[in-house]
Structure 1
């Protein structure tokens, strides 16, 4: 099957970005950070960036959900 315009372009280098909900993603290193996201200072191949995310993002629930669950557990 040939490529379509819907397929994503693979970039040579990526950076790891994080949002205010402490959710991680990768983004092409030569592009400005998307709105609401900031670079964490890690860049490299797609595999290197994804490995970094696997190491640091152990709880994938958004920060707001984790806080609500903690408050309920503490009886607030």
Structure 2
């Protein structure tokens, strides 16, 4: 059996959590708690392209907020 996260022929979702972090997720696997589907049932490459275009700051949202308030202080 191949790894379902690396199947180039599979369909995937793009997930996001409350920290603004993204995940590539096989469409047939139950979405874990704390994650929301933001793009549904696309090719693996389309999902990867979307994530690469959108997730330009790898820091969790809470760290961005914390660092922003530290700069203002």
- TM-score bin (small chain): 0.7 to 0.9
* Deviates most, 46-55 or 8-17: 8-17
Structure of higher CA gyration radius: 1
Give the C-alpha shift of residue 33 in structure 1. Answer: 1.1
Written as runs of structure 1 = structure 2, the 5 A alignment for 1:1-76 is 8-9=3-4, 10=7, 12-75=10-73
How many positions carry a matched residue from both structures?
70
What are the ranges of 5 or more consecutive residues in structure 2 without an aligned counterpart?
A: none
Q: Deviations over 1:24-65 (max 9, x none)?
A: 011111222111101003431111101000111111100011
TM-score (norm: length of structure 1): 0.81
Query: TM-score with structure 2 length normalisation?
Result: 0.84
Q: Which runs of 5+ in 1 are unaligned?
A: none
For 1:53 and 1:13, how far apart are their aligned partners in 2? 15
The CA RMSD over aligned residues, in Å, is 1.7
